[in-house]
Chains A and B, each alone.
Chain A
Amino acid sequence: MKPRHKRLVFIVVGLAGIGIAAALILNAFRSNLVFFFSPSQVVAQEAPLDRSFRLGGLVKEGSLERLEDGVTVRFLVTDNAQTIPVIYTGILPDLFREGQGVVTQGMLGEDGVFRADEVLAKHDETYMPPEVAEALEKAKAAGAGQVEEGGEKP
């Protein structure tokens, strides 16, 4: 074995060892690396209920309501299986929309309402021009309309 082969083997074996170590460590920290919990996880009591955590999911369509003071909003966060009501006072980010992803930080109250002190919009990886989005929306609406026997929305 030439010295250069020895060094090659040393580097390859070393890298493999470090890679395995990193994989094991990351696996051990798995639960701590989770950025947010989904409503299903919260319902299954996987989220820490005694301290602040992040709740992530979609803002349920038609669930956003603004209270009388004008800065407090209520909405439902859903993962299409479970739904958690959220209440938040403050400015919502630009990308906050009904039907879009959201990550909120706060605590779950005894009444099952999540009191958020931070709301972040989560963007998905789809980029398209507005006309395409409109066309998709129309197609979706037309599809839904057929099912409801052509019931037009007011």
Chain B
Amino acid sequence: MSTAGINWFKYSSPATFYPLAGRMIPWFAALAVVSAVAGLYLGFFVAPPDYQQGDAYRIMFIHVPAAWMSMFIYVVMAGYAALGLIFNTRLSAMMASALAPTGAMFTFLALWTGALWGKPMWGTWWVWDARLTSELILLFLYIGYMSLEAAIDDPRRASRASGLLAIVGVVNVPIIYYSVQWWNTLHQGASISFDKAPTMAATMLAALLVMTFACWMYAIAIVLMRVRNIILERERHSEWVMGVLEEEK
């Protein structure tokens, strides 16, 4: 028996996706708020202090999710850029450009919180080790992507050029992830990885995972909001957008 699969191309049409995204946003936003409150409570009041760092380690509850998000969002962004280039779907390019500012924000947050932690713990704000340098390159890739897109007026050409840049830059992501294993760096290795048990107390891990979930939900909600704006802007001459604008008046 052959079942007809979901027609994915239906959802790649901006006219279909725009109202769908609008319906999804409140759910993701609410989940983000609830899990951020729960995660911060766990992180600040339930999780015990660390035996070496005392309370200073608690910055990891934002640092680690931000660093994960910075890498993951880049991969998703490059994936959308590739879809856009291969299938010529307008929505994919819009999603890629909606993801970039959030990814850049998380990258900046990871670098900034890392510096704040590094000064008291390591004794320095910044070192040029492989982990920190490759994460900084990621921030430059995001900024370069956004600048290139903004520099070209025609949106189709802009997303083609910036999409290529995004795809090329994806090479950097495994370098960031494995930098602490491939080279000896000042940055510590991963506490949580695919191939071994996490090396931290259970309540710390719980707080970290809840915070990560909160960051996911926030990222999805904010990206959907942004992509709705981009859809309206790029499709402003089409009939359905005129209809939407009429309704909202």
Which A residues contact B (CB, under 8 angstroms)?
A: 4, 7-8, 11, 14-15, 18-19, 22, 26, 30, 33-36, 38, 56, 91-97, 100, 103, 118-134
Chain B residues near A122: list those with CB within 8 A: 122, 186, 188
The 8 Å CB contact of B121, one of A7, A34, A123, A126, is: A123
**Interface residues of B, dominant DSSP:** loop
Determine whether the beta carbon of B86 is less than 8 Å from that of A127.
no
The 8 Å CB contact of A33, one of B53, B88, B124, B130, is: B130
Can you name 9 A-B pairs with beta carbons within 8 Å?
A4-B86, A15-B171, A22-B175, A35-B185, A91-B123, A92-B123, A124-B189, A133-B51, A133-B52
The residue on A at minimum CB distance from B60 is: A127
Closest CB pairs A-B (n = 9): A93-B123, A133-B51, A129-B48, A127-B200, A125-B191, A35-B129, A130-B51, A125-B188, A126-B199
- Once A4-B87, A8-B86, A94-B120 are accepted as A-B contacts, the answer to whether A126 and B127 lie under 8 Å apart by CB is no
Determine whether the beta carbon of B130 is less than 8 Å from that of A121.
no
CA distance A121 to B170 in the complex (A): 31
CA distance A147 to B167 in the complex (A): 59
The interface bits of chain B over 185-200 (1 if a CB of A lies within 8 angstroms of the residue's CB, else 0) are 1101111000000011
| Interface membership of B57, Cβ < 8 A | yes
The 8 Å CB contact of B183, one of A33, A123, A124, is: A33
Determine whether the beta carbon of A129 is less than 8 Å from that of B186.
no
Determine whether the beta carbon of B171 is less than 8 Å from that of A19.
yes
- Once A11-B85, A92-B123 are accepted as A-B contacts, the answer to whether A130 and B49 lie under 8 Å apart by CB is yes
Determine whether the beta carbon of A119 is less than 8 Å from that of B190.
no
| Interface membership of B147, Cβ < 8 A | no
The residue on A at minimum CB distance from B189 is: A125
| Interface membership of B141, Cβ < 8 A | no
Determine whether the beta carbon of A123 is less than 8 Å from that of B53.
yes
Chain A residues near B82: list those with CB within 8 A: 11
CA distance A118 to B200 in the complex (A): 29
Determine whether the beta carbon of B184 is less than 8 Å from that of A34.
yes
| Interface membership of B6, Cβ < 8 A | no
The interface bits of chain B over 35-57 (1 if a CB of A lies within 8 angstroms of the residue's CB, else 0) are 00000000000001111110011
The 8 Å CB contact of A123, one of B88, B188, B201, is: B188
Chain A residues near B189: list those with CB within 8 A: 124-125
Determine whether the beta carbon of B171 is less than 8 Å from that of A123.
no
CA distance A11 to B200 in the complex (A): 40
The 8 Å CB contact of A35, one of B56, B127, B167, is: B127
| Interface membership of B204, Cβ < 8 A | yes
Chain B residues near A134: list those with CB within 8 A: 51
| Interface membership of B168, Cβ < 8 A | yes
